[in-house]
Amino acid sequence: MANPWTGEVALVVGGERRVLKLTLGALAELEDRLGADTLVDLVGRFEGGRFSSRDLMALILAGLRGGGADLEAADLLRLEIEGGPVAAARAAAMLLARAFTVPGDG
Q: What is the pTM of this model?
A: 0.88
* pLDDT tens, residue by residue, 22-55: 999 998 888 888 888 888 888 888 888 888 888 8
Give me the amino acid identity at 91: A
What value does the mean pLDDT take over residues 64-70?
95
Yes or no: say if 22 and 30 are a contact pair by the CB < 8 Å rule. Answer: yes
Q: Per-domain residue ranges for the chain?
A: 4-99
Looking at per-residue pLDDT, the higher value among 33 and 69 belongs to: 69
The whole-angstrom separation of Cα 72 and Cα 96 is 20
